[in-house]
Amino acid sequence: MSAISLAGAGTLLYKEVLRFWKVGFQTVAAPVITAMLYLLIFGHVLEGRVTVFGSVGYTSFLIPGLVMMSVLQNAFANSSSSLIQSKITGNLVLLLVTPLSHWAWFVAYVGASAVRGLTVGAGVLFVTLWFAPLHAAEPWWIVAFAFSGAAIMGALGLVAGLWAEKFDQIAAFQNFVIVPMTFLSGVFYSVGSLPPAWQVASHLNPFFYIVDGFRRGFFGVSDVSPWLSLAVVLTSLAVVCALCLHLLRTGYKIRS
């Protein structure tokens, strides 16, 4: 990127972070409270009845899943809602007349989405740690999967925002694609406890590898090898980012 485009990307990134932070109770606090309610309900019902990975208590097992679910869902929501809102209100034209490159758009929107997703995830982790002991056995996996998962969903949200023409389409994409894929990624259960057919189905879900690799960082054990998870996640990240950059470069549904 040129110096002008780089400076513009920084300004747009700041604007996008400020946009969600000004309504922090809705964009940050509310998802944290929702995750805590999940933990209270599922943890109370299943703690002592389910053990995972040999000796890990269910509540401890659940916390990393809820953290990553919050990261994924909020990273997607940030870029998708921001872009569709700009398209509908008409202020997107203010960005189109600037000399920002498609790379600058990508860095700003995906970067702000990652900031929101990771902020919510950190909030969920901080609140839920009061309910069960948790230790970082292999912290490098926590960092790797947290950042790559947030980047994937930020880019995917940008793709959805470019494709959608109204809020209903964004809501449908989130409710019928993102939410089911996150809920069926092993957030609330170990995929290893499923029947063989459902294990195969779960392994086709890329979100499973994000959650499983992230959980590996806390317990040192996982359903599949963390290197396999990392390979799947990085491949998914490359594909989604390439699609996103292509749509931005061609001006898909924003320049016509």
* DSSP output for 150-202: HHHHHHHHHHHHHH-SSHHHHHHHIIIIIHHHHHTTTSSS-GGGS-HHHHHHH
**Weakly modelled stretches of the chain, pLDDT under 50:** none
Q: What pLDDT, on a 0 to 100 scale, did the predictor assign at position 2? A: 64
Take residue 128 and report the two structure tokens written for it.
Answer: 């839920």
Q: In angstroms, rounded to a whole number, what is the distance separating the alpha carbons of residues 18 and 77?
A: 15
Sign of CA dihedral 69, 62, 45, 205: positive
Q: What pLDDT, on a 0 to 100 scale, did the predictor assign at position 147? A: 97
Q: What pLDDT, on a 0 to 100 scale, did the predictor assign at position 59? A: 86
Q: What is the pLDDT of residues 133-186, one digit of tens each?
A: 788 999 999 999 999 999 999 999 999 999 999 999 999 999 999 999 998 898
| Amino acid at residue number 158 | L
Residue with structure tokens 């992230």?
A: 214
